[in-house]
Structure 1
Amino acid sequence: MQKFEKGFFIGAATAAHQVEGNNINSDYWAQEQLPHSSFTEPSGIACDHYHRYEEDIKLLADAGLNAYRFSIEWARVEPEEGKFDPEAVEHYRKVIACCKAHGAEPIVTLLHFTSPKWLICKGGWEAESTVEDFKNYVVYVMEQLGSELRYVCTINEANMGLQLATISKRFRLMAEQAAQNAASAGKSAEGTVQVGMNFQKMMENMKFAAMENAQVFGTPQPQIFVSERTPEGNLLVRRAHAAARDAIKAICPQVKVGLTLSLHDLQAQPGGEAFAQAAWQEEFTHYLPYIKEDDFLGVQNYTRTLYGPQGQLSASEGAELTQMEYEFYPQALEHVIRKVAEEFKGDLIVTENGIATADDARRVAFIRQALDGVQHCIADGIPVKGYFHWSLMDNFEWQKGYAMQFGLIAVNRETMERTAKPSLAVLGEYCGA
């Protein structure tokens, strides 16, 4: 094992809704409570990180990690349109201070999938007004906290809506072609998107969900951030990022700003080259005009995707699969970093990379292979500045609930007791301080 140079971030990541608990003013919370929800279970108190963040950050730092990526929850900061909650901001100020007290760089994400319910009632992430609404929230947060930060991600996985649209179309086609095998088709689709989704349950609940969503959000198809994105909505997300970045730079010129993208290692088998090229264009290339002014790009990768003459392929026969039905393929991270660096010339930070498994020995193996790849990239002059493992703790994996074990720390669902896994210490050993 080779340590990284001093100043390289070795950290772990979380998202507010997945760990804090009781995010009652968010769109996700509302959807979790629907009688025919697509969520296997509600988030509830999650990992109670809102109250236990000091314990969690101490565990991270004591293991040798020097950075913590977490998100600020818009629905807490602005629970009603135009009404900001100073207590929520003070909470995040304490989290930032706690990081610094333990020698961990706080890297903040301003939107990690969840939005205030009121925003969705206005049209959500397909409404023109959202650009200004997001900017106003960002301005408030940065005026309050910006002087205490050095790195900010505006939007987590800005391309997720497009990925979901592609996967949903594929799922529906598979289900129509073989209705009797719809369950297996859904399982296959779920394993190709880097977020916990239940496509099969969504299909079954569609007729009920429309009515229930209309009652809660005023529309049968609420446009949350993790909805199938239209081309217009995709442009809106890019514009929201640019507006937020410019606002941050105006308030806090010293802060380094970027967004994060969900990126697969797209591998073409003979005859699949055109499909892989088109997928990369959708997943990455068309974002370049909107991120070229950014200070860094957050690279988020978990696996690879194979393409053949007919399009996307399933994982190779006999391939090891994770709990999320992803292929165990840590080499993907190096491939994606190299591909991104061909066109994006700013700094790169691996803001998410990890594996859902009950076998922590496989997590250790994944970390070691992934970090070997990062070090190869750095040796070749690619400006990679940090690696954040997903996730700090086992948490609420969106529609999949608490069954997915991504964490470096185990959380007892009954008592909330934390237990560091061996993988946490292994990751910490790479830190050069």
Structure 2
Amino acid sequence: MAKYELPINSRMLKSDFVFGVATSSYQIEGGAEEGGRTPSIWDTFCAVPGKVDNGDNGAVACDHYHLWKQDVAMIAELGVDAYRLSIAWSRIVPRDGEVNPEGLKFYENIIDECHALGMKVYVTLYHWDLPQYLEEKGGWLNRETAYKFAQYADIVSQHFGDKIDVYSTLNEPAVSAFLGYRFGIHAPGIKGNKEGFLASHHTMLAHGLAMPILRKNAPNSMHGLVVNAWPAYAESEKDQFAVELSEAESYHWFVDPVLKGEYPAIVKERYPYDMPMILEGDMAIISAPIDYLGVNYYSRNVVRLNEHNVVEKVVLEDVEKTHIGWEVYPQGLTDLLVAMKQRYDNLPPIYITENGAAGDDSVTDGEVNDTQRVNYFQTHLKATHDAIEAGVQIDGYFAWSLMDNFEWAFGYEQRFGIVHVDYTTQTRTLKQSAKAYQAMLVERAAGNK
């Protein structure tokens, strides 16, 4: 095994710090018409010309539906402590009021195999693949969908209970609500500020409604929420308001209601005519206590107010970027985590639930030399360590992603995996980043003995 010089020795982190890898159902599973699964909004969205690069879809993806056992073995060989995956809602509840035992069995097999190989399982209940039959009733614009989610959470947690070590209600509600219902970039492709904010409130309500159900059915598991955050930086001193508004819209809007019981005032003042109807008791439901907060970090935004008093992102030149065009900025992760601790007196333990880089990766002589990704992980683990040193409680780190997969509107052009996937043959090839991660974990295991 090659020796990788790491700027941070993993043993500097506490011995029970969790290292893992992450995936999501629609991005890897395939088997779209197998096992009793019915369509999700992403099946429908992918069929609309021009919505996804190259007309790609997740019908086959990484064929994890059939190759799950070899994939779980591959994860275990990396030496990680945990595997973070999501459950496809429409595999479990293929039609309203109907439970699919075959879908439950599929995930049970994966969970049991992970446990047999010594790994914990972190399950996300909703990673953007809303059943299409619910979208036809309004999707997240329909308040009833929040209650349907609570029923789905009840079905899953009644079946698995504490067998799932850690439950996440939602992954990145900012993306599913705003990219899906405000900006139209993701499924179901709806555009409108009013629609986006309404969808966001209903997703947060869904989270809150599910929390007491999960606690009742899985009292020994941990329960929480995963948000994505892009910290904002001002282009110049006069752009501080742009920073405050950018962060308030992109992630305070989703964390404040949980940890402070309110939506940020700056957003309500900015969009007074687009605010959702909030019923009495909603905020109390949403602010149910959580055991942890998952934070997904990839990069930062540099922002300014333009001549129309609108926040716009500044495209930086002469900075390192990944293949997807995002700046490599590890300091942003430290800044973000420290700022969150300062903002929230009741900040629970944090897990970095996604962190990774897209590359233009290919296999040459059986190797994938993704040097940039190796460096990306090294510097971001150092940034995580710096935040811990600054007093933030961080209990784990998950690399995104286990393997190349369907990257939503980008299709298969963007490769985030530490494992390369040949989509024609479904051959998996560990990239140098996977080997570096593995080497770090082997070193850590040896040091902990």
Question: TM range, normalised to the smaller chain?
Answer: 0.7 to 0.9
Residue by residue over 1:310-361, the C-alpha shift from the partner in whole angstroms, topping out at 9 and shown as x without a partner, is 3333232122222222112233222221122223420100111110012510
The AA in structure 2 aligned to 1:26 is S
2:406 equivalent in structure 1: 396
Per-residue CA shift, 1:68-117, capped at 9, x if unaligned?
A: 10001101111111111011101101111111122221100000010111
Report if aligned partners of 1:124, 1:225 keep a CA contact under 8 Å in 2: no
Q: Distance in 2 between matches of 1:325 and 1:167?
A: 23
Is residue 2:126 matched to residue 1:111? yes
In structure 2, the residue matched to 1:91 is 106
In 2, are the aligned partners of 1:10 and 1:428 still within 8 Å (CA)?
Answer: no
What is the distance in 1 between the residues matched to 2:327 and 2:176?
22
1:347 maps to which of 346, 349, 367: 349
Amino acid paired to 1:29: D
Q: Tell me the equivalent position of 2:393.
A: 383
What's the counterpart of residue 43 of structure 2?
29
CA distance in 1: counterparts of 2:165 and 2:140, whole angstroms: 28
Within 2, Cα distance between the matches of 1:23 and 1:55?
19
Q: Would you say the 8 A contact 2:140–2:202 is kept in 1? A: yes
Matched, 1:245 2:211: yes
Distance in 2, matches of 1:15 and 1:227, equals 27
Listed one character per residue, the Cα deviations across residues 36-65 of structure 1 (whole Å, up to 9, x for unaligned) are 654531222100111212212222221221
Change (3 A) 1:35 1:314: closer
- Deviation, structure 1 residue 163: 4.5
Partners of 1:284 and 1:49 lie apart in 2 by 31
Q: State the match for 1:176 in structure 2.
A: none
Identity %: 29
In 1, Cα distance between equivalents of 2:171 and 2:194: 16
Residue 357 in 1 paired to residue 364 in 2? no
RMSD over aligned Cα atoms: 2.4
Structure 1 counterpart of 2:59, from 44, 53, 63: 44
1:147 Cα shift? 2.2
1:116-166: CA deviation from partner (whole Å, max 9, x where unpaired)? 111111110110110111011110000001220221110010122455389
CA distance in 1, matches of 2:195, 2:402: 29
Q: Which residue of structure 2 lines up, in the alignment, with residue 155 of structure 1? A: 170
Does the Cα contact within 8 Å between 1:164 and 1:227 map onto a contact in 2? no
| 137-146 or 380-389: bigger deviation | 380-389
Where 1:159 maps in the other structure, the secondary structure is helix
Alignment of 1:331-346 (within 5 A): 331-344=331-344, 345-346=347-348
Secondary structure in structure 1 of the residue aligned to 2:343: coil
Counterpart of 1:300 (choices 283, 289, 296) is 296
Cα 1:15–1:244 change in 2 (3 A) is same
| 1:146–1:252 Cα contact (<8 Å) kept | yes
Give me the TM-score of the superposition, normalised by structure 1. 0.83
Tell me the number of residue pairs that the alignment of Structure 1 and Structure 2 aligns.
384
Amino acid at match of 1:32: C
Structure 1 pair 38–394 and aligned structure 2 pair: CA distance change class (3 A): closer
TM, length-normalised to structure 2 = 0.80
Give secondary structure in 1 for the equivalent of 2:85: strand
1:347 & 1:226 partners in 2: Cα distance?
35
| Structure-2 separation of matches of 1:161 and 1:339 | 24
- Which of 48-57 and 228-237 deviates more? 228-237
Alignment gaps of 5+ in structure 2? 1-5, 34-38, 260-286, 362-369
Q: Give 1:274's aligned residue.
A: 241
| 3-state SS of paired residue (1:342) | helix
For the residues of structure 1 that align with 2:439 and 2:193, how far apart are their CA atoms? Answer: 39
Q: Residue 285 of structure 1 corresponds to which residue in structure 2?
A: 252
* Partner Cα distance (1:146, 1:79) in 2: 21
Match of 2:382 in 1: 372
Deviations 1:166-205 (A, max 9, x none): 9849xxxxxxxxxxxxxxxxxxxxxxxxxxx58xxxxxxx
In the other structure, the counterpart of 2:264 is none
Q: Measure the CA separation in 2 of the matches of 1:141 and 1:61.
A: 24
